[in-house]
Amino acid sequence: MSNCKPLQTPLPSKYPSDPNLQVSFIQPELFRQLVGSLQYITSTRPDIAFAVNKLCQHMHNPLLIHFQLLKRVLQYLQGTINYTFFLPKIELTLTAYSDSDWAGDHLDRKSTTRYYLFLGATLLAWSVKQQTTVARSSTEAEYRFMAAAATDIIWTRRLFEDFLLPQQLTILFCDNVSAMSIACNPIFNARTKNIEIDHHFIRDCIQVNHIAVHHVSTVDQLADIFTKPLSSTRMLELRNKLQLLGPSSRQPCGKRC
């Protein structure tokens, strides 16, 4: 694959529908080894985290179509092999973005949720996980991962306090107004009684002024790069906002042109 044709996105907008690809891949061990390597790469390349998460869901029985998608990720990496994080001078202020695709898995209808945590303009941490239980609505799916994001936010805030770097109120951006309403409403009702108690942790964080939940439009939702396959234009836009830049976007000294 070292001489493969580079591609602009890690996944196609629409999955191939060729029936010839719906057969078992004859080298499942190779598939697992390559996906394992890609998992390691995601520690510095969040732009492939969604694609790798999808591939990981087929480790037990990969089909030929899954291997074709894996090769596409490698082609994307070939075209962006020199991309690195740009680390500008930053303010020590935490912000986060969370998002979810409701019932995105067509087999078990579980949702995949993801979030970004920024320190100033620098991406500090990220996560892509499939929820362990089925959410009954998009609101529930979003609310669950807002709570998961809040857990990491609080851990990071406490770490900063250990270094005598106290934090102001941390803003968590979400594009689901209903989920935000549940988070800010301390009263249980028929809409929330099916949500596990530990997911209401975010309410405590809001009440003690550690976290504030703000709405963000879908256009400005940075977590979209974790949510679904994107067009090359949208991928480039979000990748730049994450400060994941190629050599042409940086000066030799490491600053942006």
* Angle, CA of 10, 56 and 245, to the nearest 5°: 30
Choice between 106 and 145, residue whose per-residue pLDDT is larger:
145
End-to-end CA distance of the chain: 31
Looking at residue 185, its pLDDT comes to 75
- Each residue of 105-126: pLDDT tens digit? 556 667 667 788 988 888 888 8
AA identity, residue 57: Q
Calculate mean pLDDT across residues 137-161.
85
pLDDT in tens, 47-58: 998 899 889 989
Cα–Cα separations (whole angstroms), residue 240 to 89, 101, 102, 142, 254: 16, 23, 26, 25, 15
Query: pLDDT digits over 174-193, tens only?
Result: 888 888 888 887 665 656 66
Q: What is the pLDDT of residue 253?
A: 41
Instruction: Judge whether residue 200 has pLDDT over 70.
Output: yes
CATH match of 94-224 with 3.30.2010.10: no
Q: Is the pLDDT of residue 84 over 80?
A: yes
- Pairing mode, if any, of strands 112-119 and 94-101? antiparallel
Edge-to-edge strand list for the sheet holding 112-119: 122-130, 112-119, 94-101, 170-174, 211-215
Across the range 126-143, mean pLDDT stands at: 74
pLDDT at res. 38: 96
Widest pairwise Cα distance in the chain: 60
Question: Percent of the chain scored above 70 by pLDDT?
Answer: 84
pTM: 0.77
Q: What is the pLDDT of residues 202-242, one digit of tens each?
A: 888 998 999 999 998 877 878 778 777 888 898 999 898 88
Q: Which residue has the higher pLDDT, 27 or 141?
A: 27
Kindly tell me if the per-residue pLDDT of 104 is higher than 60: no
Lowest-pLDDT range, 42-56, 138-152, 156-170, 194-208? 194-208
Phi first, then psi: give them for residue 116, nearest 5 degrees.
-120, 145
Res 103 pLDDT > 60: no
Q: What residue segments make up the domains of the chain, in order of their start?
A: 1-81, 94-224
Q: pLDDT category, 24, cuts 50, 70, 90?
A: very high
DSSP-based three-state secondary structure for 117: strand
Residue 187: CB atoms within 10 Å: 7
Q: Percentage of the chain with pLDDT > 90?
A: 33
Residue 196 clears pLDDT 80, i.e. is over it: no
- Rounded to 5 degrees, φ, ψ at 76 are -65, -45
Contact assessment for residue 234 and residue 220, using Cβ atoms and an 8 Å cutoff: no
